[in-house]
Amino acid sequence: MNIKSLLLGSAAALAAVSGAQAADAIVAAEPEPMEYVRVCDAFGTGFFYIPGTETCLKIGGYVRFQVDWNDNSAAAGPDDNWNARTRALLNFDARTDTELGTLRSYIGLRTWAEGDYNGGSFEIDEAYLTIGGFKVGYGYNYWDAGLSGETDDLGSNRVNMIGYEYKGDAFSAGIFVDELTKRQDGTGVLGIQAGVLDSALYEPENDNVGIEAQISGKFGAVSAQLLGGYDFHTEEGAIRAIVTAAVGPGELGLAAVWASGVSAYYDRSEWAVAAQYAAKFGKFTVTPAFQYYGNLGYDTSLGNEYNWLSNDAWRAGVTLDYAITSGLTFKSTVNYTKITGDTGAGFDDDSWTGFVRLQRTF
């Protein structure tokens, strides 16, 4: 056997062995493709697609630490004029494009700790859904909006509601039917004493009804809102107008409210006017403000009939906002209130109130 025959035989043997090993080889399965979270640009920043769906979700909220103070020794006692509070809010905003318009569901969960060690209380801040302009659920209604400072008191509500709102480029209008089950005691206002829920007029088991409607528009640098609400249980209503305009380095705001009588929409006073100017200087915003109340509070001694009192009041204050860094803000306010007339036991006819707040928003 020559060398050529030996080499050819060896090559054939190696080929046979390699073929047999290839037949017995284990082939690894290809990995499943990973689905990464995709950014959703359709509804603004912060939204992302829920994996496997066409629904966009945004998660946000804040953590807030605040210290309130006042000099009202008649109501709080000389050793109890400040209070520290910590609040946390977590919200989930889910939106999907449909043939009927954007389908949106919003859930806000809020908790706070105040003066104890049990972790505070927990509540649903808001929970509602919207589609094509229709809105149903629980949340802040039109009356919660006000001027941007911390001096005015123009009404505030969280209610179960159902209604419709049209939003255009420069004009919007909406109408809602509300479930009204409680109101704030009109004598506990102006920061002198916290509002107290009055169950004599609105028992929890009573499903009372109200209706509110608002039109608003933007005309260049000027924005205006006209709001009205009617409480069918008390058979009283209220109207409110707010106008804001860009002036110089900030924004000027004017507001007026009038109530025919005590209602769940507004029970502070028969009428009130307010003004403020929010001046911006870099990271600082300084907001001096003023509000006057005519016929403040009401007489509760007549059962379900409530008459406005002859008290008048005014409040003046200033609010300072400072943007420390992205997502972290500082806010402080100081307000002075003067009431004329009979303020009743436990109330000062003049008082200083305010707070200091640090908030991280994400």
Residues 219 and 262 in one domain: yes
- Residue 90 pLDDT greater than 70, yes or no: yes
Instruction: Please identify, among 268, 286, 312, the residue that sits at the C-terminal boundary of a domain.
Output: 312
Query: pLDDT for 169-198, tens place per residue?
Result: 999 999 999 998 755 444 444 433 333 334
Question: Quick one: pLDDT at residue 306?
Answer: 72
Nearest alpha-carbon partner for 287 in 335, 326, 324, 325: 335
Using alpha carbons, list the distances in angstroms from residue 351 to 190, 192, 220, 243, 335: 9, 7, 39, 29, 8
Instruction: Note whether residue 49 is domain-resident.
Output: yes
Give how many domains the chain has, as a whole number.
2
For 298-305, the CB contacts below 8 A with 24+ separation are 298/186, 298/187, 298/262, 298/267, 300/185, 300/187, 300/198, 300/200, 304/200, 304/201, 304/234
Instruction: Note whether residue 123 is domain-resident.
Output: no
> In this structure, are residues 104 and 93 in contact, taking their beta carbons and an 8 Å threshold?
yes
Tell me the residue type at 193. Q
Residues 100 and 165 in one domain: no
Query: pLDDT for 328-355, tens place per residue?
Result: 999 999 999 998 876 554 455 788 999 9
Residues 86 and 149 in one domain: no
The whole-model pTM stands at 0.80
- Residue 256 pLDDT greater than 70, yes or no: yes
Q: What is the distance between the alpha carbons of residues 278 and 318, in angstroms, rounded to a whole number? A: 10
Residues 138 and 43 in one domain: no
Query: pLDDT for 144-155, tens place per residue?
Result: 999 999 999 998
Query: pLDDT for 7-30, tens place per residue?
Result: 445 545 545 545 545 445 566 566
CATH code where residue 250 lies: 2.40.160.10
Instruction: Please identify, among 294, 312, 330, the residue that sits at the C-terminal boundary of a domain.
Output: 312
Query: pLDDT for 72-89, tens place per residue?
Result: 655 444 445 889 999 999
Residues 6+ away with beta carbon under 8 Å from 214: 142, 173, 174, 225, 226, 227, 228
Give CA 40 to chain center in angstroms.
23
Query: pLDDT for 29-81, tens place per residue?
Result: 665 566 678 999 999 999 999 998 999 999 999 999 999 998 865 544 444 58
Residues 102 and 142 in one domain: no
Instruction: Note whether residue 359 is domain-resident.
Output: no
Instruction: Note whether residue 118 is domain-resident.
Output: no
**Domain span at 60:** 34-109
Residues 296 and 179 in one domain: yes
**What does DSSP say about strands 236-247 and 250-259: parallel, antiparallel, or unpaired?**
antiparallel
Residues 144 and 292 in one domain: yes
Residues 62 and 185 in one domain: no
Question: Quick one: pLDDT at residue 310?
Answer: 84
Instruction: Note whether residue 321 is domain-resident.
Output: no
Residues 188 and 256 in one domain: yes
Tell me the residue type at 78. P
Residues 78 and 171 in one domain: no
- Residue 163 pLDDT greater than 90, yes or no: yes
Q: What is the distance between the alpha carbons of residues 253 and 277, in angstroms, rounded to a whole number? A: 6
- Residue 212 pLDDT greater than 50, yes or no: yes
Q: What is the distance between the alpha carbons of residues 123 and 111, in angstroms, rounded to a whole number? A: 6
Instruction: Note whether residue 178 is domain-resident.
Output: yes
